Structures are given as structure tokens and as C-alpha cells.
Amino acid sequence: MSYYENLVVCYFSGTGNSLSAVNWIKENADKQNLKTQLCSIEKKETTDLSAINGKTLVGFCYPTHGFIAPWIVLKYLWKFPKIKNADAFFLNTRGGAILYKLSIPGLSGLAQWFSIFLFLLKGYGIKGSLPLDMAHSWISFFPPINKAGINRITKNCNRIVNKMCDKMFSGKIYLRYNIWLSLPIDIALTPIIFLYVFGGRFVLAKTLFASYGCNTCRLCEENCPVQAIVIKDNRPYWKITCESCMRCMNICPKKSIQSWVTRMALITYLLMVLGLALFKIDANLLFFIISCLFFPIYWIIFWSLRIKFVNIIFTFTSLTKLWGRYIAPGITLKNLKRKNL
């Protein structure tokens, strides 16, 4: 029998990792006859406060982006109301990796701490904190982990979530040891978090492009959680509002979405070296100017990709052309869009 009467889980998930955690939490809640309500942050669903009576546990599950919760989640958390008699927990999924047989954990930065402090200020009791190292989904930067590794990581995460639920649902506090272990690194990452939230994420939004294999099926446009893709001239165009959740890149049936992030890094490096040699200006200012230049550069690239030859060259020099894609095991597009949960 659970200590709580109601469970509300609000979640955002680009590629299904955080949604898997939500499903595991729901399975545990069902076993304990907890009345559960799921709120999709992507669909801007909110809790019906009037329907909640009695002891309530409110949970938030989301990925880590740039060492903090994604912008869409930050806005949701900020506006989330106080519920009478409610406690809260936070579960941020992170990008885990495997090097040979060694599991490499992700890094939370402030993805836990910011949420915890915000909800303490709102008057909630904090009942759980879990950074969960799922198989990473950052396909625009790194190749996916192999299937055996993904299954191993997923099984282990399921076990950890079950443990968390056992403890929290009985009214005890569950704070996973790794939130303390990485605390000094998490705090040291604060300047990078600011750079990401106020600049880097807009540049990242411009790293994706549709290669010549795209048949304008519009699946990416229809399934973007923040409507950041528009079809221009029969090809997807990424708006600055993209959350870099990686869903479009991983669901494209033609595997046509590529990233030019490695070339972007190389161009930045070359422009920095050239700029510093030619002009005697501050390196930070130069970096800022070069970052701003990416928006007109992206626009030029987008239009020049209409030329098949340019597109083919661009596609075959993209590292992402070489590797596979990732959606969490057992999760489908329907689940992500909550058509069938």
C-alpha cells in the first residue's frame, strides 16, 4: 500500500529515454494502486488541480541538455503551480556511454539542482532525485551505442527506477548517491550552462540539414515537439526554436537528416585562428561574432543544398552519414506523441 494517494508525472522526451523511465514509474504505481496522471510537457498538458485530493507525489522526467533541463522543461517548471499536500521528485535522463566494457556516466550539471531549489522555493517537499544514465541519444555528435550495450544499460536503469519507486512510494526519500558525487563538477559547469542556454542552443539548432535522400514525407515536421521544422521549397528548414531533442534525426525513415557540427567546429577554429592573426581583438568577442555569423551561413547553406551536387558533397562529408540512429528500446513514435500510451 502506497503512502501517497495520487501520482502526477510530467515529462518531456525527445527520443524515448525519459519516456521509458515514466513507463517504469507508472508500472510501479499501478502495482501499488496509485492513482496516476501523466502530463506531456510537449503537449502543454497541466495538472487538473481540482481533481487532486489527498497526499500527492508530483514527478518530473526530462532529458539533460547542455547540463540543464531543456528550455521547454525549464519554462514548464517555472510556471508549475503549488499543489496542496504535495511532494516532488526529479528524474533527469543523461547520456551514458560504453567504452570497451566500461560504463561512462553522463553529467547533470544543474539539471537536478536547479529544479530542486525551484521547487523548494515553491514549498514542495523533495522526495526523490535521480540522474539516470540511459544510452545517449546525441546522434548529431556521437555514434549510438551498440544494441547489446543499449539493452544492458536499459535493464540496469529499469532496476534503478524500480528501487526509487519502492522507496518513494513508501514515503521515504530517495536521493541517488551520484547527485552528491558529481556536485563539485556540476557547480563548475555553471558558466557553460549559461553559454548553452543563452547562446549555444541556438547555434546547435542550426546544425541539422536534410540530405538529398529526403522525399518530403513531412514526418519530421509533424513530430517535432516544438514545431521547429518548416518545409520551405520542399525541404525541411530548422528554426532557431529547435530544442535539439534529436527526435527528427532519429525518426526520419530515409535517415536523411545529417548534422554538419564537426565542420562547424572546424570552421570556427579556422576563423578564430585567422581572426586572431589578422585583427587584434579579444578572443571572446571574436568567438561571439563568429557564432552570430552561423545564422547567415546556415541560410546560405540551406539554399545552396538545393543544388544536388552540393547536397551530395555535403551529405557524404557528414560523419552522421556513417552511423545509425537511436530511439529507446520498446518506444515508438506513437508513444512519444502519446497517441497510444
Ligand X SMILES: Cc1cc2nc3c(=O)[nH]c(=O)nc-3n(C[C@H](O)[C@H](O)[C@H](O)COP(=O)(O)O)c2cc1C
- Identify residues 220-249 at the interface with ligand SF4 (CB under 6 A): 220, 224-226, 228-229, 236, 238, 242-248
Nearer to ligand X, 198 or 309 (CB): 198
Q: Which stretch binds ligand SF4 (CB under 6 A): 49-57, 128-136, 250-258, 301-309?
A: 250-258
* DSSP helix/strand/coil, 5: coil
**H helices present in the chain, as ranges:** 17-31, 71-79, 113-121, 147-169, 178-181, 183-188, 190-195, 201-204, 219-223, 247-251, 261-278, 283-304, 308-316, 333-336
Which span (7-15, 77-85, 210-218, 262-270) binds ligand X, by CB under 6 A? 7-15
122 by DSSP, 3-state: which?
A: coil
List % helix, strand, coil for the chain (3-state, nearest 5). 45, 20, 35
Degrees, nearest 5: CA angle 5-165-179: 125
Residue 225 binds ligand X, judged by CB under 6 A: no
Q: Rule CB under 6 A: which of 51-70 touch ligand X?
A: 63-67
Taking CB under 6 A as the criterion, the residue among 256, 258, 318, 320 binding ligand SF4 is 256
For residues 263 and 134, what is the distance between their CA atoms, to the nearest angstrom?
28
Spatial separation of the C-alpha atoms in residues 133 and 96, rounded to whole Å: 5
Cell 540511459, located at residue: 134
Q: Choose the contact partner of 38 out of ligand X, ligand SF4, none; CB within 5 to 8 A by kind.
A: none
Give yes or no for residue 2 binding ligand X (CB under 6 A): no
Residue 210 near which of ligand X, ligand SF4, none (CB within 5-8 Å, type-dependent): ligand SF4
136 binds ligand X (CB under 6 A): yes
Residue 207 CB, shortest distance to ligand X, in Å, is 10
The binding site for ligand SF4 (CB under 6 A) comprises 14, 210, 214-220, 224-226, 228-229, 236, 238, 242-248, 252, 254, 256-257
